[in-house]
Structure 1
């Protein structure tokens, strides 16, 4: 990027501004997602950020500091949105009577982030010891832990420990002091560390590893076979199952087994399908369930697996069929589709497994 392009944009050249903003669009949207936890809200805040940047571009400093200026706008737009918005979406009514959950969570607005939308991760290497690596800073467990923080603490952790901005830069973005940022950061780090899952270690920065994908395949086969014992065998002893935007969480083998049995009893003989994709750099599937007595299956949410070592630590089943288009997934599939197949762009376009669906 050159000062000449910035000067053209300041002079009202929309094409120059579009080229400038495209350099930062993906990373700014991911930044908004980390703070807000919702892909839909992040998309809205990205548009507000770019609109505000266009209107105030004459106030921007030189090209070297444009990125920090854009992050300042995006961060404050997100914080304003959090102050103004009621966070809890309506609780969905399940089509069957689920078993009593182990606990209820307040973080019901959490949404998955498609791997295809992730930027090439070139974030500045942070200086502090508490820095998060690129993949860890995208995964659902980290995003969920950020949502438990007060909004300003959340923004400070992201700006300092994920993106590597200095204390002085963060203080300037938030209109506060270095001392205030340092104190808030210490409190936020303690909370995030308390909630952090075990470190899986040695994994790709932008997608699930081959071992994770294999574990995902085994989970999918057991799930589609209605083999609850086989599903449970793939889980850690402390595994959990969550279903945003429903507040229900099931912790441990007994609770998860109870829920899956209740769901299986409700689904009965209707067929189902999984289309493999990727979310938050983790194994994920679009889930489809058949209409009664039909050979067409409708979208029924996105399932994301959290893997630790050689076992599954968490199953997050997002109960929102409207997420499918964001993953380039259809809203309906027919039963000539293999039971487990690849989504466009999610990996090699091949069938993982084909067998007749149980009807």
Structure 2
């Protein structure tokens, strides 16, 4: 993959009035949706780019959902029309889309609006590889194995923290707004528990301290199946407990999540404590050790490092490249 994968990025004029939503970011990405910006920024500088479309395995559609969302000329309500116009233009100016009806094309989006943005271009939903954070196979817009799950990752400064397992006193931890029935059910059952700390509102201790002091950190579905909490847990060496049905987990084609996380069905929230206490100390130590091993795959770097998030996404794309080259 590293030697042979080639990607063609559709060009645009620098004086294009919408060049700001097609260019890679010229600043350090930040916030919940940094993954989209990081990918574009790193891809632009990578050896995977080819200027010769005849050598390309895949074609990148470089529009940014995050930037379109904040552009006053487009906004949330205008994204669908923008994407429709963009696909119409490239399919008439270039021959590559029409060779496969977009099956060897891909785009990247982390904001949840991304999965609604393609509703006026059915071919995108059906054929294009969608690399998105909102990777729910319960939603018709997302097709597992064709599409790929992008982890929602906050930018990180400094090295990896490592709090020894014996210093983790809390059995479980969750903090967040109650923006879904699943989270409300979690608080109902475990809001006053002495072993599982479930909190809504301002924390007395810092979020980081809670992550470092807990054995298991709960990733609970909110408005969407995805949040940055799952990668927060990995970064701070806390074993993720995933309570989000229909979540196509990031890099699931590459990583076996059962070796470094615990997956609990939302219906089993009343059994959560029993499930976690049923994990032996030895089993926990194996899970936590594997967390420390895999967290390198969930980090972005401006200059990519082998096996980091950028290379993991590239490998997901490599797995999805077309086996049939149409000339």
Q: Report the TM-score when normalising by structure 2.
A: 0.27
Q: Report the TM-score when normalising by structure 1.
A: 0.25
The structure in which a higher percent of residues are helix is 1
